[in-house]
């Protein structure tokens, strides 16, 4: 294994050290797929007419996949909070979009598409409850007309102390101002150029050791060059097969990486860098353009006093 590893990539011992430094249990927010379906098309993966041909089976499959994902997180030591599903809001299941949370503050989503705008009020209510309980200090919003789809387009990089942001498909370029003001950290904005990779999280995955798995074709040439410059040897190009199956949309805590698809090549790369790979198939959600990361919102940084440290 050691020989296969490029010199400056994350070493397994580095990952182990990070795991030890993580004294908090990962706090995740999920919402069950009780009313999940593909009822409209706001990205190229979504084909409502195909869903309706086999809706019953696909709904059953969604529930099984969601339960398996939750069970996997829990077996890996995470704590999962559940946000209730709402009839008529099928994409509420994708909790990564409802906000981005850091340092006792939440910046709430402002959805581009009318189909998802109804989710905003539910997210707001839930975070207001957390605020009333004293878990968070502030609930912030982007200005009107500045779209922002939460952690789907805002990925916090604790090691580099910056927020990676996606724009050009859903979130507005200007959303970065709100993030910078809210969290007092620099942002790094990447333009998304392929409608299949409409959120940053569909083409860019940050692992706990600072490694980044990405799908180059989702970005501009300039964006790719900037990613390479910042991430260096910790950059992993996703095999085409993984990108096309939304395997890049994965969740990492400690040494564990949970994804819906993993080619042998990607598995070998991840294992050589000290990660453990967990595959949980999420076929029904893939039909909505979503996978593991979309179904999960990190709340780790929500609780006051638990921030900035560690990583
Ligand atoms: N159907 C949803 C949409 O198009 C999927 C969202 C997936 N979420 C994500 N963070 N990539 O908005």
Mean pLDDT of 11-24: 51
Q: 3-state DSSP call for residue 1?
A: coil
Active site residues: 199, 294
For ligand 1, say whether the CB of 37 is within 6 Å of any of its atoms: no
Top pLDDT among 5 and 290 is at: 290
pLDDT at 23: 52
Return the structure tokens found at 62.
Answer: 């969604």
> 151 C-alpha vs ligand 1 centroid, how far in Å?
11
CA 78 – CA 29 distance, rounded (Å)? 10
For ligand 1, say whether the CB of 202 is within 6 Å of any of its atoms: yes
CA 248 – CA 205 distance, rounded (Å)? 6
Mean pLDDT of 57-72: 98
Angle (nearest 5°) at CA 163 between 179 and 184? 45
Mean pLDDT of 89-101: 98
> 275 C-alpha vs ligand 1 centroid, how far in Å?
26
The answer to whether 77 and 26 are in contact (CB under 8 A) is: yes
For ligand 1, say whether the CB of 27 is within 6 Å of any of its atoms: no
Which pTM does this prediction carry?
0.91
Tens digit of pLDDT for each residue in 193-232? 999 999 999 999 999 999 999 999 999 999 999 999 999 9
Please state the ipTM of this predicted complex. 0.98
> What pairs with residue 298 in β-bridges?
28
Backbone angles phi, psi at 199, to 5 degrees: -120, 150
Q: 3-state DSSP call for residue 236?
A: strand
- Strands 256-259 vs 251-253: parallel, antiparallel or unpaired: antiparallel
Task: Find all residues with CB under 8 Å of 90, minimum gap 6, and list them.
Answer: 35, 36, 37, 38, 39, 288
Can you tell me which atom of ligand 1 is nearest the CA of 288? 1
**Which residue's C-alpha comes closest to atom 9 of ligand 1?**
294
Tens digit of pLDDT for each residue in 26-51? 999 999 999 999 999 999 999 999 99
For ligand 1, say whether the CB of 187 is within 6 Å of any of its atoms: no
């Amino acid at each position: 294994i050691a020989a296969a590893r490029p010199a400056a990539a994350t070493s397994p011992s580095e990952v182990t050290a990070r795991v030890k430094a993580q004294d908090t249990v990962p706090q995740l927010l999920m919402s069950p797929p009780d009313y999940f379906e593909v009822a409209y098309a706001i990205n190229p993966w979504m084909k409502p007419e195909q869903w309706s041909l086999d809706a019953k089976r696909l709904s059953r499959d969604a529930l099984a996949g969601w339960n398996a994902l939750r069970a996997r997180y829990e077996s890996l030591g995470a704590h999962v909070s559940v946000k209730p599903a709402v009839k008529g809001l099928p994409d509420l299941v994708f909790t990564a979009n409802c906000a981005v949370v850091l340092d006792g503050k939440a910046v709430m989503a402002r959805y581009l598409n009318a189909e998802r705008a109804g989710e905003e009020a539910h997210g707001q209510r839930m975070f207001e409850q957390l605020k009333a309980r004293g878990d968070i200090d502030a609930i912030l919003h982007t200005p009107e007309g500045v779209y922002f789809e939460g952690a789907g387009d805002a990925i916090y990089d604790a090691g580099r102390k910056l927020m990676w942001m996606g724009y050009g498909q859903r979130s507005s370029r200007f959303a970065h101002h709100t993030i910078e003001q809210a969290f007092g950290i620099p942002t790094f904005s990447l333009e998304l150029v392929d409608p299949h990779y409409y959120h940053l999280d569909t083409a860019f995955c940050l692992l706990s050791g600072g490694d980044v798995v990405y799908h180059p074709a989702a970005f501009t040439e300039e964006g790719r060059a900037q990613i390479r410059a910042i991430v260096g040897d910790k950059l992993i190009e996703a095999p085409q097969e993984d990108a096309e199956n939304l395997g890049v949309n994965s969740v990492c805590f400690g040494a564990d990486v949970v994804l819906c698809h993993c080619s042998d090549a990607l598995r070998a790369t991840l294992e050589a860098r000290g990660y453990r790979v967990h595959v949980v198939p999420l076929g029904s959600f893939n039909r909505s353009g979503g996978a593991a990361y979309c179904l999960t919102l990190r709340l780790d940084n929500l609780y006051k006093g638990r921030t900035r440290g560690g990583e």
